[in-house]
Structure formats: C-alpha cells, structure tokens
Structure 1
Amino acid sequence: MTDQTPAPHKQPPARTAFCDSTSSRAREVLDLVADKWSLLVVAVLGDGPLRFTEVKRCIGGISQRMLTVTLRGLERDGLLTRTVHAVMPPKVTYELTPMGHTLLEATHPLIDWSLKHLADIDASREAFDRRAEDQAQETPASG
C-alpha cells in the first residue's frame, strides 16, 4: 500500500526575507521579469531560437525599439543569447540560456493561469465598468 499523503506545498518566503538589504536586489529581478514584454519574449523563445523578425511577428503590438531594448536586457541578465551567424546577409538568432529555460518553467503556471482566466477577467472588467458608469449616472453633478 502506498502513502497517498499529498506532498507539502512549498511555502513562500517569509515577509522578513524581503525586509533586509537583499530586497532591493530581488525587486530588480522581479522588475525585469514583470515588465510588459520580457515574459512574452521568454515564452516565444521557449520552443527554440528565432530571428528578430520572427520574435516580433509572434508578439503583437511590440515596437521594433521596445523589442530591441527587451532582448538586450534579457541578454545582459543571462536569460538569452544573441548569436550572429557568419553568412551573407548576416543572420542573428536569439535563444534562451539554461537560466532562461528555468524562468520559463517558473512562469508556465502564470502563463497558463492567464490564458485560463482571460474570459473571467474580461467579464469582471465589463461588470466593474458598468457599475462605475451606473454610479456616475446616479451621482448628481456638483456645480
């Protein structure tokens, strides 16, 4: 007979872990991955190396400049590599490093959660906006 006791969940770090001198460094890393584009770039590169234009095509709405800035930041932090291939015309590809793959693994649950709850979030936003409009209409204008 096997033990069917569920494995204990990992406990989040204690609040005090963010109250010491390393908290600003941790915030820097969290800022890196919590910006508007970085996780999308990491997710797109999860299936293998891509050229700049391929990454841009996969991520709707990102400008060429913002993609360049995001790729440089991810490369600087060791999450992806930029490889220039010696061909004519020059070919440049971007690929996740092993550390970049660990970030992708860590964020898969968040990406899955967001995809699963898109409709719920849309419905909540619509309901909130309707309530706000109704309240605005009920409140007499001051003047």
Structure 2
Amino acid sequence: MAVDRELLRQFYDLKQLLSDKWAPAILVTLAEGRMRRVDILSTIHSFSYGEEWSDRNAPLQDSILARTLKRMTEEGLLVRTEPDTTTFPPEVYYSLTPPMEEFLAAVGPVREWSRRHADLIGRAQAHRRRQSTGADGTGE
C-alpha cells in the first residue's frame, strides 16, 4: 500500500493552521462577519462547549485574544481594518480572509461526518481525558 505523503502533509498543515487553542473559536465567530475585538471576546464567552470541552474553566482573556488576533492577522488568516479615527476610541475590526471563508465553507462535509460519528468522537475525547488525568483522576 502506497503512503499518500501529500495527504499526510496536508493533514499536518491543517493541524498546524488550527493548533492555537482559540483559533477555531475565533474563526467560527468571524464567520458571521467582521467584528471588533470586544465583540469577538463577548461572543466566544457566550459559547456553551459542553462537558467535553477541556478548557471550559480557563476562559479567554482579552490580552490573549489580542495576541492571537495579531498572530492570525500576520499569518494571513484574518484581516485587520485600520482604526476609524472618527470615533473615540478608534474602532478596529477583524474579518476572515477570503481563503479562510473558503476553508469554513469547505468544512461542511467534515461537520456532517462528525455528526454521524459523534459516538466515536465522544469515546476518543473521554479516553484522552482519562489519560490526561490518570485512571484514578489525580493526573498522575
């Protein structure tokens, strides 16, 4: 069986693209359109992740969001508009770049797959939680 090296590389490239803890939440939030940082933060805080979300007790801080938005902009995932100097304080908006809009549109079949195989995903998540906390729940 021949190994599809290109497919493997593409998987790792996508994993790297989305490896930041908050990048998926930011991308999903901005799928609705451009937003100011304060609105992005508020929207992400309003999400209900469910029991399987391992970081639910560590909410996104504004300083972390600012750094993440800057990095994602530098990487070409987001567009940062120049400040509107007619308002005080000046308003800065963030939006998805066209390739990221295309990426989110292409995720549709993956979303459907994850719905059909929610039991598999749930088992894998539960296993990872057990492994990270230890069999006795102590983390050792």
Shared fold per TM-score greater than 0.5 = yes
Question: What fraction of aligned residue pairs are identical, expressed as a percent?
Answer: 24
State the superposition RMSD in angstroms: 3.6
| Amino acid in the other structure paired with 1:44 | T
The corresponding residue for 1:79 is 77
Structure 2 residue 15 is matched with structure 1 residue 16: no
In 1, Cα distance between equivalents of 2:98 and 2:92: 19
1:90-105 to structure 2, matched below 5 A, reads: 90-105=90-105
Q: 1:104 to 1:111 in 2, by over 3 A?
A: same
Q: 1:69 to 1:96 in 2, by over 3 A?
A: same
In 1, Cα distance between equivalents of 2:12 and 2:122: 26
Deviation at 1:15, TM superposition (A): 3.2
Count of paired positions: 113
Deviation at 1:49, TM superposition (A): 0.6
In 2, Cα distance between equivalents of 1:93 and 1:26: 30
Deviation at 1:34, TM superposition (A): 2.6
- Structure 2: runs of 5+ lacking an equivalent: 46-58
In 2, Cα distance between equivalents of 1:68 and 1:52: 7
Q: TM-score w.r.t. structure 2 length?
A: 0.61
Deviation at 1:26, TM superposition (A): 7.6
Give deviations 1:21-80, integer Å, cap 9, x for gaps: xx5x98465313132111110110001111101100111321112211221122112221
In 2, Cα distance between equivalents of 1:17 and 1:68: 34
| Amino acid in the other structure paired with 1:39 | P
The corresponding residue for 1:65 is 63
- Structure 1: runs of 5+ lacking an equivalent: 1-13, 134-143
Equivalent residue of 1:47, what SS? coil
In 1, Cα distance between equivalents of 2:29 and 2:108: 12
In 2, Cα distance between equivalents of 1:34 and 1:111: 18
1:101-112 to structure 2, matched below 5 A, reads: 101-110=101-110
Structure 2 residue 46 is matched with structure 1 residue 46: no
Q: 1:50 to 1:97 in 2, by over 3 A?
A: same
Q: TM-score w.r.t. structure 1 length?
A: 0.60
